Structure 1
């Protein structure tokens, strides 16, 4: 039992650190960590528990980024509200899919996300778009698609939200990281509520995961503010981690489907 608690705390710290640093990597790491490090037996329980923990940690990190002036609230609120509707729809579909098949698709998504992270990003290109009707509609459209993916695969969506916000508004990376956390928290909460109604959340384990995540999130947020102009190396390292975890998830879920 002690080993399981330690695994939950350390895994939560890693997830919180990722959220604070790059605004993503929450559930994309939480689900495999809960399954293969902490030892949760059921994939759907891992998804529901991870979604709850990521939601709470995202809101905690949002408060810190807001104090640092890294949140553009209008775009953040639009993304959170519209994306949450997509997350409810996506999580309802996800519960209907076999758990191991869902994990296999999840692994494929992780590969795509890792490749997307390796693409060079220009922070100083065109000027940031004015928050007019056209920009808000574009933000809403991207938000719904990101929310659908978040709910279906049980991922917080940060790695979709950050580039989505940058695409829709052209805001700088550090602002997109801070603004994304409102949507990450909302997506995760929507997914967690949906899964909890089916009894697919381990509340004690979620509490342990959250405790570790708060500590890791503080460290990640402080590092993000210090390295806001030099994330390329960190992004490549984290993308490599995603590829390793994705390969492991694909291997384990593939074995389960063949057995």
Structure 2
């Protein structure tokens, strides 16, 4: 990798980390466009595979803090992630078999949908004590597995973490509060990202050197984002809406260009 490409990779990683720290999600949805249009990765499949590795590593790093704060419903996460990994494996195979330009067009449409969901905002449920055990399994397991499979298919197909899809899915399935849903989602994002990354890596679609530079930039971006987030806490809604508008605009651009 030449110095210019390394610099662009560091910058892209920093932007992804900054978004994750400021908005609390959405970093993975901008990773693929950054890799293609900023870093210059020519293959959409390679961009998706490389982004999937970075997504899994970022989620695993963020999970530790939520686990220490007891914001993770582990049994619910395991069921959702188990079904999601099956979906992600299937989705990754479908994505690799699809024409690169058609895949980019579909990714652009997904960005528009995700941006719309972000504009609507996220509301949590009202049951902080929800848990998966023998008495509740009959009700919760089919819902968790169903949402997990559907989200996993999309995450594997597009190489995204799927946090903005997983969080609403967890809330709809269990009525858990949003703070707990966000913490629990990181277990699932890690599992789905690792599944997708493994599938693409086995097909030679992961640039490991690029992953290293993205992660290095992501660490710096996360630190900066946490510092800025404390200063901009009162404007979090404005930040989320502004980022949603950017996601929609980029989605329109990618779709139009691919078509």
TM-score, normalising length: structure 2: 0.88
Shift of 1:26: 3.1
Structure 1 position 193 matched with structure 2 position 195: no
**Conserved in 1, the CA contact under 8 Å of 2:75 and 2:131?**
no
Shift of 1:122: 3.4
Shift of 1:126: 3.7
Change in Cα spacing, 1:165 to 1:201, as seen in structure 2 (3 Å) is same
Return the alpha-carbon distance in structure 1 between the equivalents of residues 77 and 236 of structure 2: 22
The aligned counterpart of 2:238 is 233
Aligned residue among 136, 160, 166 for 1:161: 166
Q: Which runs of 5+ in 1 are unaligned?
A: 255-259
Structure 1 position 15 matched with structure 2 position 20: no
Shift of 1:202: 0.7
Shift of 1:20: 4.2
Mapping of residues 83-232 of structure 1, within 5 Å:
83-123=84-124, 126-128=126-128, 129-131=130-132, 132-133=136-137, 134-220=139-225, 231-232=236-237
1:51-98 deviation per Cα after TM superposition (whole angstroms, max 9, x unaligned): 111111110111122223332222222222221111001001111110
1:93-115 deviation per Cα after TM superposition (whole angstroms, max 9, x unaligned): 11111011001011011111111
The aligned counterpart of 1:253 is 258
The aligned counterpart of 2:44 is 43
1:179-215 deviation per Cα after TM superposition (whole angstroms, max 9, x unaligned): 1111111111111111111111111001111111233
SS at match of 1:95: helix
Change in Cα spacing, 1:72 to 1:229, as seen in structure 2 (3 Å) is farther
Return the alpha-carbon distance in structure 2 between the equivalents of residues 26 and 77 of structure 1: 23
Shift of 1:251: 2.6
The aligned counterpart of 1:28 is 29
Change in Cα spacing, 1:80 to 1:95, as seen in structure 2 (3 Å) is same
TM-score, normalising length: structure 1: 0.88
15-24 vs 157-166, greater mean Cα deviation: 15-24
The aligned counterpart of 1:257 is none
**Conserved in 2, the CA contact under 8 Å of 1:23 and 1:180?**
no
